[in-house]
Structure 1
Amino acid sequence: MTSAPRITVAPNGARLQKSGHPAVPISGDELARTARACLAAGADAIHLHVRDDNGRHSLDPERYREAIGAVERAAPDMAIQITTEAAGRYEVADQLHLIATLKPAAASVAVREMARAPNLAARLYATAMDQNTQVQHILYDRSCVDQLQRWYADGTVCASQRDAILVLGQYAPPRAGDPAELPPLLQAATTADLRITVCAFGAGEQNCLIRAHQLGCALRIGFENNRVAPDGTIWSDNAQAVRALRTALVHQGKGCAA
């Protein structure tokens, strides 16, 4: 039997508002409550986005400190990863500033975004290495994998920074993830000797993640990518999505009960 997977919950993302789902966590207190509920449901880690006073995506280090502190108090056993997502608002210099100022334990970094300023990207990766921030490379397609391979070869990315997340489907224009996308992308990533997590957009999210687990990957689920259950109903909250994934894996004989 395949061992129980590591599950990260991504509860809010950069864009989702209360108008899109009333249970999306926006404030630090809401993120903390979500973290506690998702930990109880079977998640091991949380992927954090923070928002400004108008609910817009933010890379403000102080807002991250507040949110991280709230989550640590509410769910002390849950690992915390921040995002450096640009979301059309930030440049690589802003992303570097966040990493250097906050010194987070873990952060996701999109190869596609870093390619906008390779020299600053090299500084970001080196800074993360020096301060023991675990970088997770966001890979959307084969071109991202190829770029990461080139950066390993020329030293832009440190050789030990081997964590990555493969994204199935896309946000805009909307395209749901399909389990058939995973094998070729995973094969390309395997040649780079990467430790792989998988997330997926749309109502096929759970099927994509079950397939990813069968192929030995860690999993990420949550409202950042999807709010629709396999039967077409809407998840009541992130914890319900986490719990349903754990249950599905047990049913498949591919996981252990939380």
Structure 2
Amino acid sequence: MAKLPRIMLAPNGARRTRADHPALPETIPQIVAAATAAHHAGAEALHAHVRDAEARHLLDAGLYRELIAEMARALPTMPVQITTEAVGLYSSAEQRALVRELRPEGVSVALREMWPDPGPDPEAGRFYAETEEAGIALQHILYAPDQVSRLASLWSEGLLPAPRQVLFVLGRYAPPTLARPEELDGFLTAARALPEDVQWAACAFGRTEEACLLRAAELGGGMRIGFENNVERPDGSPAEDNAGQVAALVQVLEARASPRGQEV
């Protein structure tokens, strides 16, 4: 996954369950089925979370291997990016251990979790260097413009390799904060200090997800969409499923790209 996909599916995340939406995938078969439907709708890659038997967030190499194997069988052309999200359950050492054991094609890593304290962190620096050397596509998850600036400083100081992929998170899950398209401005201003060839994408919490992602596309970024961040249509009504959200986004993108859409 050296090239960041235009549309990445995030079908479940770490917190929501089927109690929040009956179409949210929890088991590996459900995740593969959701990915398959969303792939047919236009999603190009999967951002994957796995759950335990009680549908709780889990960082587990064995379950990830099972998911990756099932995805390779069912959807060999759809890359899988795993998460290291802590959700207050895992330490940075446990996050690093997962990646070292699994050696996935792609992984998302929140800077604020992996390198929480200011100043040098030899263990974190070693992890980022190892991941780069192993050819793992690491996407830095950034929740605010000041985190973009911090990432740029760590790179300029030679404390970690040049960032290749980043994700800008708009809005918040807790406390619930609706994403706003204009939030991208601060992120992109701060991102001027990153390498010129860095690939970026955005995800957005709440029913404004589609509007935020459309703006990201207009500005040259990728889009991460799915029930991890939003289970509503733009009008606030419940979404049908992940594939329906992807299909609606693709429909608007195609309409805007058509000559008729450009005239409007």
Give TM-score, length-normalised by structure 1.
Answer: 0.93
**Alpha-carbon distance change, 254 to 105 in structure 1, aligned in 2, over 3 angstroms:** farther
Secondary structure of the corresponding residue to residue 47 of structure 1: strand
Report whether the alignment pairs 1:217 with 2:214: no
Structure 2 distance, partners of 1:127, 1:64, is 20
**Alpha-carbon distance change, 12 to 254 in structure 1, aligned in 2, over 3 angstroms:** farther
Alignment match, 2:92: 92
Q: What pairs up with 1:18-29 in 2 under 5 angstroms?
A: 18-29=18-29
Find the partner of 1:136 among 131, 135, 139: 139
Structure 1 distance, partners of 2:174, 2:159, is 29
Which amino acid in the other structure matches residue 246 of structure 1? V
Secondary structure of the corresponding residue to residue 132 of structure 2: helix
**Runs (5+) with no aligned partner, structure 1:** none
Alignment match, 1:103: 103
Secondary structure of the corresponding residue to residue 8 of structure 1: strand
Report whether the alignment pairs 1:247 with 2:244: no
Structure 1 distance, partners of 2:103, 2:51, is 19
**Runs (5+) with no aligned partner, structure 2:** 260-264
Q: Contact 2:7–2:42 at 8 Å: present in 1 too?
A: yes
Alignment match, 1:157: 160
Alignment match, 1:50: 50
Which amino acid in the other structure matches residue 179 of structure 1? P
Structure 2 distance, partners of 1:29, 1:83, is 18
Which amino acid in the other structure matches residue 209 of structure 1? L
Kindly state the Cα deviation for residue 254 of structure 1 after the two structures are TM-superposed.
Answer: 7.2
Secondary structure of the corresponding residue to residue 257 of structure 2: coil
Q: What pairs up with 1:70-85 in 2 under 5 angstroms?
A: 70-85=70-85
Kindly state the Cα deviation for residue 116 of structure 1 after the two structures are TM-superposed.
Answer: 2.7
Secondary structure of the corresponding residue to residue 124 of structure 2: helix
Which amino acid in the other structure matches residue 43 of structure 1? A
Q: Contact 2:149–2:193 at 8 Å: present in 1 too?
A: no
Q: What pairs up with 1:108-119 in 2 under 5 angstroms?
A: 108-116=108-116, 118-119=121-122
Structure 1 distance, partners of 2:47, 2:179, is 19
Percent of counterpart pairs with the same letter? 44
Which amino acid in the other structure matches residue 24 of structure 1? L
Which amino acid in the other structure matches residue 231 of structure 2? R
- The alignment's C-alpha RMSD in Å is 1.5
Q: After alignment, is 143-152 or 7-16 more displaced? A: 143-152
Structure 2 distance, partners of 1:124, 1:196, is 21
Alignment match, 2:11: 11
Q: After alignment, is 169-178 or 115-124 more displaced? A: 115-124
Structure 1 distance, partners of 2:174, 2:249, is 25
Structure 1 distance, partners of 2:113, 2:144, is 13
Structure 2 distance, partners of 1:254, 1:228, is 26
Which amino acid in the other structure matches residue 139 of structure 1? L
Kindly state the Cα deviation for residue 50 of structure 1 after the two structures are TM-superposed.
Answer: 0.6
CA offset digits 1:223-255 (Å, max 9, x no partner): 000011112221111000000000011222379
Aligned length: 250
Give runs of ≥4 in structure 1 deviating > 3 Å: none
Structure 2 distance, partners of 1:116, 1:104, is 23
Kindly state the Cα deviation for residue 220 of structure 1 after the two structures are TM-superposed.
Answer: 0.5
Alignment match, 1:206: 210
Alignment match, 2:188: 186
Give TM-score, length-normalised by structure 2.
Answer: 0.91
Kindly state the Cα deviation for residue 23 of structure 1 after the two structures are TM-superposed.
Answer: 0.9
Report whether the alignment pairs 1:120 with 2:110: no
Structure 2 distance, partners of 1:96, 1:23, is 31
Kindly state the Cα deviation for residue 51 of structure 1 after the two structures are TM-superposed.
Answer: 0.9
Structure 2 distance, partners of 1:89, 1:62, is 18
Secondary structure of the corresponding residue to residue 135 of structure 1: strand
